[in-house]
A and B are shown apart, each in its own frame.
Chain A
Amino acid sequence: MHRDGSLGVAVARPRAAGRRPALGRDTGTALLFLSPLFVLVVGLILYPCFRAVWLSLTDKLVGYPERFVGLRNYEYLVHDDAFHQVIRNSLVFTVGSVALKVVTGLAMALVLDAVVKGRTFFRGLFLLPWITSTVIIALTWRWMFDAFPGRGFFNSVLLDLGLMDRPIAFMATPAGAMAAVVVANWWRGFPFFGVSLLAGMHSIPRELYEAASVDGAVAWRRFWHITLPGLKHVLIVTTLLSFILTINDFNIIYVMTRGGPGSATQVFATYSYQVAFGQLRWGRGVTISIFLAPLLVVGIALITRALLRERT
């Protein structure tokens, strides 16, 4: 992280006049050294991507050879009411989770930045959700929201405090189930924001705060005019990464609700899994999972370009 708060993305600058020709006597050696990377990129990134796109253009069923059907899978999904609900659910789940992560991650970073004693300990402590297995987290939150008498954490506390006389089925309603999976995802992901933003804060020059204090700026104004602008790039990148990871999340929803009740928490990954592995329709299953890819790619490209432009 650079002191100006940027992520230190390397930017190619135009070479000065008189540069060496692109193809020289070292070309062969260069290509030789680049070839492992080329193989990795093609084998692990390009081929799977092209294969996924190709499968989405076929009516591939498990056990049968694929047949090209053009955009039929996309056309089907555009008219599929279940998929419409999946899009809505995915957006609510993702936007809700990421928004919570940004707010609490920022709070975590601010608190840790202010703490002098035991900062390393607290930083490690806050990272626990991030390093714990997602399945364990999902099971734990499922247990927390459980309505089984004497077992669910929230229900036990509320019953023991005499605030109610029978358990609340938190996850039995669409809104409750969605809230539960959002909370679980938020809890797992906010340390990532906290740690990234804390690193970003450390790169903001202290002199700016000192100057602002001398000029009489209160804490809120210092945060608004120095900290937030200084964290802009980190915030954009972490939000983008978190958005991508969250919209593709499978484990939390599968373990906690299986997409239920009904289809209230069915998202891209769980619906894709059901169609591909349950119904054995791989072509359609792949289409579900890559449906939003073009939008995400455009979003990433625009944000990256904007970041690079500011740097140069």
Chain B
Amino acid sequence: MLQQRVSRRKILAGALGATATLALPGAAAPAAPAVKKGTSLRLWILKTYVEPTNKAVEASAQRWAQKHGATVTVEYFTFEDMQTKYVAAIENRSTPDVGQLETGAPARFAGMGQLLDLTSFARQIEGEVGKPPANVAPVTVIGDKVYAIPWYIMAPFWYVWRDVFEKNKVKLPTTFEEARQAAQALNRPKDNFYGLGQSWNRTADGYGVMQSLMYSYGVGWAGKDGKHRSIKTPAMQQVMRWATDIYKEGLQPADTLTWTGSGNNENFIARNIAQTSNGPSITFALENALAKATDAKDRKLKEEALANHLALPHPAGPDGRRMWAIAMSFGIFKSSKDPEAAMSLVAHLLSPEETLNVMKDSSGQFAPVLDKARAASKDYFSKNESYRNFGRAAEWFVGTGWPGPVTAAAAEVQASNVLTDAPAKVIVDKWSVDQAIDWEEKKIKEIYDTLRAG
């Protein structure tokens, strides 16, 4: 494995060049490697639903470019084409210098030999940007090497209409079972109002929540060593029952299974459902709507909506609260012609100052994970109860393949849609719970048995 080491002298030179007067009290300039003038880098970043965040990341990259007399070409990928773009780039040998990677990507791409070993670099900038929490670090550490550096968590939360719960004297849910009971209490199909909206579709709103549900019930398809283990357990039966009973009991709109990505947002914002799992883009939409209010009456309505919506932590299960989330990190591809400049750019983006600049334009969607930025973000996340929960995303985070590390096989299980196809087989094809679990077990085992080690 190619090991890119950056000399201490270069780091010091870079650090000298970096600004010493950061806006944040106590924040220091990251130890950035030196950059040749005229360097040109390609940076791939995620285009989130919160447009100001995207612009903030791009602006941050351009600040680095301006500072170093370099150019950064920012290219976006969306949730939809993230995998497709990387796959095409890898096969065509046109990977960017620096790429934002989602939860499973570091394990997959490092296994392919695409990513630079950043172990030394991570250690070198640790003093400036801090360390990720112990539960987040395994996303970017494969074997004993660091292949990417985590930046933020984009987590799902349990959105509820607080006023609906209060009016009906229903307790806000803290567990999945309480969420189902609340859905039963609040369900009014005759008025087209449903207690819950949870789709087992082929997006993160489907497979992400399914993982949170499984892990919170203590079910994982891999052991701590990352090797396959059976899911044919009583706990998995409970998981599958919860996942399918919410459909059988008519607690959700009839088209819930057909939602693709934005269905839960729309139904929640339109107040067709009392609760749903989603990222903070719902809060962004409500904040944005208020900012665009046309008159006093409209403004009052939107203020009420904003005040009444509440993002709770994801419900817990009998085994605890484990929240699967998208953990975004930065990796540097081996194809980069100027790895040192790429490292400098990454160090710049990860610096507490730049991180906070981006975070402030995210409506809570961007929860930093490196401890320096987390410490500096406390004020931002104290705005209200929803934001306080957003700020704790990293605490509850678990990665794909819990309790083991994120592996290529675990990421493939998620990508194969088997996690959500199994409950769909019970709901749509009228399979029994045990039949669906047997099928899921077979599919997962097959992935582990047939995936090449490299």
Interface residues of A (CB under 8 A from B): 59, 61-64, 81, 146-149, 165-174, 177, 257-264, 274, 276-280, 282
> CA A64 – CA B427 in complex, angstroms?
38
Q: Mark B241-255, 1 if CB is under 8 A from A, else 0.
A: 000000000000111
Question: B87, B189, B267, B427: which contacts A148 (Cβ < 8 A)?
Answer: B267
Task: Kindly specify which of B57-65, B358-366, B376-384, B416-424 makes contact with the partner chain.
Answer: B416-424
**Is there a chain A Cβ closer than 8 Å to B336's Cβ?**
no
Are the CB atoms of A149 and B272 closer together than 8 Å? yes
Most buried by B among A81, A149, A261, A276: A261
**Is there a chain A Cβ closer than 8 Å to B178's Cβ?**
no
Are the CB atoms of B452 and A280 closer together than 8 Å? no
Q: Which residue of B lies closest to A81 (CB)?
A: B439
Question: B258, B267, B270, B272: which contacts A257 (Cβ < 8 A)?
Answer: B258
Q: List 30 A-B contacts (CB under 8 A).
A: A61-B452, A62-B91, A62-B112, A63-B91, A63-B114, A147-B253, A148-B272, A149-B192, A149-B270, A169-B258, A170-B255, A171-B258, A172-B256, A172-B258, A177-B258, A258-B201, A258-B260, A259-B202, A261-B258, A262-B257, A262-B421, A262-B425, A264-B428, A274-B417, A277-B84, A278-B83, A279-B415, A280-B108, A280-B415, A282-B91
Interface residues of B (CB under 8 A from A): 83-84, 87, 90-91, 108-109, 111-114, 189-190, 192, 201-202, 253-258, 260, 263, 266-267, 270, 272, 412, 415-417, 421, 424-425, 427-429, 439, 447, 451-452, 454
Are the CB atoms of B91 and A263 closer together than 8 Å? no
Most buried by A among B113, B257, B258, B260: B258
Chain B residues positioned under 8 Å from A172 (CB to CB): 254-258
Are the CB atoms of A147 and B254 closer together than 8 Å? yes
Are the CB atoms of A173 and B272 closer together than 8 Å? no
Are the CB atoms of A64 and B257 closer together than 8 Å? no
Are the CB atoms of B255 and A147 closer together than 8 Å? yes
Are the CB atoms of B254 and A169 closer together than 8 Å? yes
Instruction: Pick the 5 closest A-B CB pairs, nearest first.
Output: A63-B112, A262-B424, A169-B254, A169-B255, A278-B415
Are the CB atoms of A277 and B83 closer together than 8 Å? yes
Chain B residues positioned under 8 Å from A173 (CB to CB): 428
A258-B113 contact in complex given A62-B87, A263-B424, C-beta closer than 8 Å: no
Are the CB atoms of B90 and A63 closer together than 8 Å? yes
Chain B residues positioned under 8 Å from A147 (CB to CB): 253-255, 258
A266 nearest CB across to chain B (Å): 9
Chain B residues positioned under 8 Å from A63 (CB to CB): 90-91, 108-109, 111-114
B258 nearest CB across to chain A (Å): 5
Q: Which residue of A lies closest to B428 (CB)?
A: A262
A17 nearest CB across to chain B (Å): 55
Are the CB atoms of B415 and A260 closer together than 8 Å? no
Are the CB atoms of B416 and A278 closer together than 8 Å? yes
Are the CB atoms of A263 and B421 closer together than 8 Å? yes
> CA A132 – CA B272 in complex, angstroms?
33
B448 nearest CB across to chain A (Å): 13
B446 nearest CB across to chain A (Å): 9
Chain B residues positioned under 8 Å from A149 (CB to CB): 192, 270, 272
Q: Other than the known A169-B254, A170-B255, A257-B260, what 17 A-B pairs have Cβ atoms closer than 8 Å?
A: A63-B90, A63-B91, A64-B112, A64-B452, A81-B439, A147-B253, A148-B267, A166-B192, A167-B254, A172-B255, A172-B256, A260-B201, A260-B257, A261-B257, A262-B427, A263-B421, A274-B416
> CA A81 – CA B429 in complex, angstroms?
13
> CA A171 – CA B425 in complex, angstroms?
16
A47 nearest CB across to chain B (Å): 16
Are the CB atoms of B428 and A174 closer together than 8 Å? yes
A182 nearest CB across to chain B (Å): 16
> CA A96 – CA B112 in complex, angstroms?
42
> CA A146 – CA B253 in complex, angstroms?
12
Are the CB atoms of B254 and A279 closer together than 8 Å? no
Chain B residues positioned under 8 Å from A262 (CB to CB): 257, 421, 424-425, 427-429
Chain B residues positioned under 8 Å from A171 (CB to CB): 255, 258
Chain B residues positioned under 8 Å from A277 (CB to CB): 83-84, 87
Chain B residues positioned under 8 Å from A261 (CB to CB): 257-258, 424, 427-428
Question: B109, B253, B267: which contacts A169 (Cβ < 8 A)?
Answer: B253
B143 nearest CB across to chain A (Å): 17
A258-B202 contact in complex given A278-B417, A280-B412, C-beta closer than 8 Å: yes
> CA A257 – CA B109 in complex, angstroms?
29
Q: Which residue of A lies closest to B81 (CB)?
A: A277
> CA A171 – CA B91 in complex, angstroms?
36
Q: Which residue of A lies closest to B272 (CB)?
A: A149
> CA A274 – CA B418 in complex, angstroms?
11
> CA A260 – CA B259 in complex, angstroms?
10
Are the CB atoms of A279 and B416 closer together than 8 Å? yes
Q: Which residue of A lies closest to B80 (CB)?
A: A254
A272 nearest CB across to chain B (Å): 13
Q: Which residue of B lies closest to A151 (CB)?
A: B266
> CA A59 – CA B449 in complex, angstroms?
13
Chain A residues positioned under 8 Å from B428 (CB to CB): 173-174, 261-262, 264
Chain A residues positioned under 8 Å from B260 (CB to CB): 257-258
Q: Which residue of A lies closest to B426 (CB)?
A: A262
Chain A residues positioned under 8 Å from B114 (CB to CB): 63
Are the CB atoms of A280 and B87 closer together than 8 Å? yes
Q: Which residue of A lies closest to B413 (CB)?
A: A279
Chain A residues positioned under 8 Å from B113 (CB to CB): 63
Chain A residues positioned under 8 Å from B91 (CB to CB): 62-63, 282
